[in-house]
Amino acid sequence: MNPVNYLYLAALLFTIGAAGVLIRRNAIVVFMCVELMLNACNLAFVAFSRMHGNLDGQIIAFFTMVVAAAEVVVGLAIIVSLFRSRHSASVDDASLMKL
């Protein structure tokens, strides 16, 4: 199968993720959409790696997974602390500083 199709899939997943970040209102869901974007990047890396016949892209995909895992740790800590103090994870409710 032509690896270019995987690039289209990656772009589609990335767009879905980006749209989700902009549309969804729950911080956890927004965060999951960001993770979807990162995974779309991984797919693009691996597809390009296949096209170019070198391993750089596959190695980078591993780095991305590690970074994404670290981001989950930090992100969930922040979102959970927000949820515990407000009993809501909605990003619309977080508007203390709105002018």
Residue of 12, 52, 65, 88 interacting with other proteins (CB under 8 A): 52
As measured in angstroms, the least distance from the Cβ of 86 to other proteins is 7
Bridge partner residues of 26 (DSSP) = 90
d(CA 35, CA 21): 10
Indicate whether 55 belongs to the interface with other proteins (CB under 8 A). Answer: no
Residue 78 tokens, joined? 């922040």
What distance in Å separates the CA atoms of residue 29 and residue 13, rounded to the nearest whole number?
A: 15
Q: Indicate whether 32 belongs to the interface with other proteins (CB under 8 A).
A: no
Q: Can you tell me which of 16, 18, 26, 58 binds other proteins, judged by CB under 8 A?
A: 18
The residue from 6, 16, 26, 51 that contacts other proteins (CB under 8 A) is: 51
